[in-house]
Each structure stands twice: as structure tokens, then as C-alpha cells.
Structure 1
Amino acid sequence: MDARRRVLAGISQAGYWVPRALAFEHRIAAAVADPGVIDVAESWWHNLGPELRGLWDSGDRETFDLLTEVSRYAVEPVAHRITTPLLITDPDGEHFWPGASRRLYDALPGPKELLRFSEAEGAHLHCEPMGRALFEQRVFDPRHST
């Protein structure tokens, strides 16, 4: 790896911003998304009750200007452009974007690795809050293929 190039890492919603940046910026040597986020608005949906979801589904977007904007934050339309090696964490119990790490991984054409963190290891939940030492040990291990 070229020592003059940089590694980019993003935690939480930055698991969207890092892959999004990589779709357009190809000078980054490698990157980490913790966790992988393919659609930012997915984390908003579980907080909307049935009445608000009904309004959204009816097409009343003016009531939801912020959600309308956030719903545009999706990586899938540009994932085919990502060629930078990307390490994506996939913790058990991810509650904001469950399953998104795997979906991001599957959408990427370039070098990639999906790094699981389990409850048994104590490194589960969103951003592995109780397992940061294990996170750093595994993510920054130079033996990773990405």
C-alpha cells in the first residue's frame, strides 16, 4: 500500500457517508464502515407509527420534508462505482440498520470484507459499544484482505 494514501473510517451513520464518498473519490487506499449503511432512512422508519407511515404512503411528502431529504441518502444507486477496498462491520443485534451490512457487501463490485462481531464476544450491538478494544484489534489487523 502507498504510504501517502489515506484510510477512511466511519462509525454509525458514517457507514453510509464513507461508501458514498468512495463512489466518487478514488484516492483513498482503503476504508471501514461500522456498520454498513445502504439506506439512511431505514433507521427512521421504526420510530414512525402507523398513522405517520400512512401519511407517507399516501404521498404527502410536504409533511415530511426532513424524511423526504433523508430518504435520498442511499448507496445502492452508486455502489457499482466503489472500487476502493472496504471493510464492513456486521455486529449481532444491529438495531438501527439490521441486515444493511450484508446488503452493502453484496452490492459492492470491488474488494470487500464483512467482519462479524458476536454477542458471545461481547462486541455486539450498534457500533460494538462494549467491544471497542476487540473492534480495534480486528479492524486494524494488517492481515485483512482489504
Structure 2
Amino acid sequence: MVDCWWHNLGPDLRALWESGDLEAFEGYIEQGLRQDPALAAMWGWRAKPSGIDAPFDLLTEVAQYDLTPVVNLPGLKAEASVLCASGDAGGCPASTLAGGGVA
């Protein structure tokens, strides 16, 4: 599941999250959400079931759910990255943060 979230955020933000720099990561995410109301609405909708408001904490929680063993079952034709790219996996449209956005 986390791959779908990362598809929208880009490799630079993922690296920042993996570094554990909570303050910098949250700052970039919050800046992007302020600049793009549609992205903020999508983020809020996707985050709501978790009950977690902080982006860093949310992605840490989502990272615990790995669907790779299910998606890669023999005979299953769709890959998670294809589902995310098409927007068919629970709302994974491309976002303004897709380029990585960390400057």
C-alpha cells in the first residue's frame, strides 16, 4: 500500500522520510498541501481511515502494510505500480509532489 503513496510523493521525499528528519519532511508535505487544495483533499480523504494526522506518522504506519506477496501471486496480471499509476487503486492520481519537490 505504501508504494501507492510513494508513487505520488517521489523519491526525494521518500529519501527525506527514510532519513527520519521529521521536521523537514513534515514541512515539505505541508507546503505542498497548502499549494494544492485538490491534493490536500485527496490526502485528507486517504488518511482519514487511519485517524493519523501527521504525514510522517501516517506514512510510517502505512509502510507496515505490504501487499507485494498478494499482488505478485502467480496468475495475477496487475502490478501495484500499474494500479497506482492508473488511479484505480484507491485514489492514486498524480500529484504536484510527484516530482519529488525537495529543493
What's the TM-score, normalizing by structure 1?
Answer: 0.26
More relative contact order, 1 or 2 (CA 8 Å, 6+ apart): 2
Q: Higher strand fraction: Structure 1 or Structure 2?
A: 1
**Bigger Rg, which one:** 1
Q: Higher helix fraction: Structure 1 or Structure 2?
A: 2
